[in-house]
Structure 1
């Protein structure tokens, strides 16, 4: 029992992984579909370059034939009418040149193209007109291949059993011929071997041949598109729908990347998705396939798609109509629910109004209380600020009065001592020494330094954090500090006076015994260092205050 549970679980997990891979590939396909123009433009560019060569002056008929041959290669998977046009031109050129090899080569290619587009009568007629003995090996292999393909298709589509048997006999004859002369590792040999094995139910051999074909091809080429499409047919034979889908997707991606309009994978994939009820995707894919078939203008492809297109489109329209009806019903339901909700809201609203009235009265009273509380808090804040400012003002006054009295007393003593010294020197008739003493700046300089020290000491006593707070207003790396042994330097002293309300440069210059220009330069220099130049001095004037 446990064994079968494990087997079942393994099977289910395998299906889940496979489904995930298919879903991922579908997303890649849809992305590739959006880039169709990019791939088509690349082919159109190659075609335009070849057409440009045809306008070369004095070009020979042989050269025109070779260029046309390259154009045919471009148009065969891309646009049926253009391929036929250039094949007919080459047939005419070859006939005029009386080149029997080129005539037969062109007829072979034209016959193969007519066969692939569903023009079987014209294809057989054209291929039978070929003198196979005049063909080189490569063209002869191509001739046998086209003969094999046309009879395979006639055998498949013929409703008359006798004809079907005859066509299948001819198909097998040409297939045997090809198998006898083709290298066993060639793409065409492997294709024929794969096809026969698949039709005979030898799936293992068919898969091996297909593996070799896939290894030889790269995505975006017709060989890859055909190999992956062939793989999908093998899985169809096995009723392995998931793998069939995967390889149809790969074939469709390759067709788009190779700008191949003569394709079958997309239409088959659309039908599978339709049967799986993925109508939206099926509709997009069949429309895409029809656009390719219409552009290519192959009767065979248009007929094949025309059998599927109306079925998918009709179901798509029915589904859309059903969705519209469901949407309309949902709208009616939502409208009814909305009406019920509206009535409920009105009733609830009436009840809410009663509660709201009482709540509003309470809120009104609370609002009045809140306003009164805010006013009280504002008044308290203002009182605190005024108290702080008053305290600061009193401190400044007290300190300055005391400092002023000390300085005045010191200067009276110094003047008295100076007077006594002068009187003494005059009585001693030391006039030359007196002149020398009064002519020296040492006394003034000494007094000035004492004045600076006294001012600095008094100021920093009132504003101990002045230097730190001033530097906080300056940009990083532009801070100003007094030298060792100094309390303040000249720059700091200027802004200390500004903090005390002395902002006039002339007054500051007189107090510090500098020129007005020097004071101005110091102020500008400091402003340039400031984080905020415009309101720097205003900020300085508020250092250490409560505001």
Structure 2
């Protein structure tokens, strides 16, 4: 049902001449699909024939039954395989002779002559027709007799090269055609076919197309009749120089031939010739090759010869084009190979460059990391320099401050000595020797000056090392850390001793002279503090490093 619907649609499209090019392309696609499906149709055909042949194996089958079955087999083989159709036709003729049935003998002879006519064996067909007595033929067989005569002389007229014979064959053709026309009904398929051919021969093409259209309505795709009507329609369009419609109906005829397993066909080879003239070598070669296979399968000598003439030209053009394509393909392959090698070289080059770039990026990354590290170090150094600058600036300020302080103190001590000198002079002038002696014996002046000295030293030292007490205590055990007892006290004796050590004065005798203690006292203080240190051996070195 699917195929019937499909080809009904194709038929509608084929009758619409408004879309010729697209229709032809679509129909060619369908034809190619049908060529692919041809083996399926062949198998169906063979299965049907096999079933008919199996009926002949029945021993109870009478000769009449056998004759009837063989007739069915002949119908299946008629346009499918000449050799097998001939074999069974001759077998049926033998059966008819055994039965001594004049009707069956004449029927078999007519079938044999029709087979020979269809395969182009015109002389052999006429020889058989000569042996048939027309008086033994009923109306139906007589029609077949005239038809076979007409077709035989039509073929001889078409193919003979001898002018005298050609005229003779033409006259005989018209004679039997006229006899046949008079015998058949005007509305019959045979009558319409003869009328169409008459109009075609007279070049009354519109009338011939009108008759063909009526005939086409009475046929179905996939039958021998449809194949013949569409083929004859393509001839009409050829005479009208309408190539698109000519191709269209040749394609429809070829599709019908394939579906009905008609191996004795002309439509596909004619289509191939048109495509060849249009330089469509691929499809022309495909179709002519398929048509040649059909001709070989059927064993039609006439069709085989006709196709061979065309096949040679198409195959030569196909081989030439194939050679050109192979040369182009070879050239393209060489170019592609060269381009492939070039591409490979480019890929290798790009890969190497990529590695170099990757390496350069890694180096750059490392350099950036080093630069960042150097920048950080530089920032630290800058900070250190800034700090150092601040310290130097501060140190300069301290130096200026303490130079001023020293000069001020020195000036004060000069003033004090001058006051003390004047006081001594005064006491001596006034003969107050005893009072002067009492004054010199008193330590009050020394104690006062010593306290002032300690105060100035403590303030000056802590101005330079403000974190000294905190950092110093970090070097001592927690329980032995120094806590100043008096809020007015800036440094105590232990701290002053190590303050001098921080300033680089490590000799106990020098420390004792500065602080006005005995050497033993200084030594005892140092031992005591060392014993309280976390790291006794490195204690004084650590003190020297306090910032």
The alignment's TM-score, normalised by the length of structure 1, stands at 0.62
Task: Tell me the alpha carbon deviations over residues 391-429 of structure 1, each in whole angstroms, 9 at most, x when there is no partner.
Answer: xxxxxxxxxxxxxxxxxxxxxxxxxxxxxxxxxxxxxxx
Give the superposition deviation at 1:331: 2.6
Shift of 1:80: 0.5
Instruction: Give secondary structure in 2 for the equivalent of 1:130.
Output: coil
Query: Could you say which residue in structure 2 is the equivalent of 1:232?
Result: 234
Closer/same/farther in 2, CA of residues 194 and 353 from structure 1, 3 Å limit = same
Distance across 1 between alignment mates of 2:151 and 2:105: 21
The answer for the alignment partner of 2:251 in structure 1 is 249
For residues 90-489 of structure 1, what are the structure 2 equivalents within 5 Å? 90-341=92-343, 352-362=354-364
When the two chains are superposed, the root-mean-square deviation of aligned CA atoms in Å is 2.3
Aligned to 1:41: 43
State the SS of the aligned residue for 2:47.
helix
Q: 1:221 to 1:359 in 2, by over 3 A?
A: same
- What is the CA–CA distance in structure 2 between the aligned matches of 1:41 and 1:93, rounded to whole Å? 29
Q: For the Cα contact (< 8 Å) 2:231–2:249, is it kept in 1?
A: yes
**Greater gyration radius:** 2
Q: Deviations over 1:111-166 (max 9, x none)?
A: 11111111111111111211122112111111111111000000000101111111
Q: Which blocks of at least 5 consecutive residues in structure 2 are unaligned? A: 1-15, 371-547
Q: After TM superposition, give the deviation of residue 84 of structure 1 in Å.
A: 0.9
Give 2:388's aligned residue: none
Between 1:332-341 and 1:143-152, the stretch displaced more is 332-341
How big is each residue's C-alpha offset from its partner over 1:258-312, in whole Å with a ceiling of 9 and x where there is no partner? Answer: 1111111111111111221211111111121111111111111211111122222
Residues 346, 228 of structure 1: alpha-carbon distance in 2 compared, 3 angstrom cutoff: same
Number of residue pairs matched by the alignment: 355
Q: Deviations over 1:343-366 (max 9, x none)?
A: 666666665555433322355799
CA contact (8 A) 1:104 1:132 kept: no
| Contact preservation (8 Å) 2:281, 2:314 | yes
2:26 to 15, 24, 27: 24
**Equivalents in 2 of 1:66, 1:344: separation in Å?**
80
Partner of 1:73: 75
TM-score, normalization by structure 2 = 0.62
Q: Is the 8 A contact 2:42 2:261 kept in 1?
A: yes
Q: 1:349 to 1:42 in 2, by over 3 A?
A: closer
Distance 1:336 1:53, change over 3 A: closer
Secondary structure of residue in 2 paired with 1:201:
coil
Distance 1:298 1:364, change over 3 A: farther
Give the distance between the partners of 1:267 and 1:172, measured in 2 at CA. Answer: 28
Are the structure 2 counterparts of residues 156 and 361 from structure 1 closer, same or farther at C-alpha, using a change threshold of 3 Å?
same
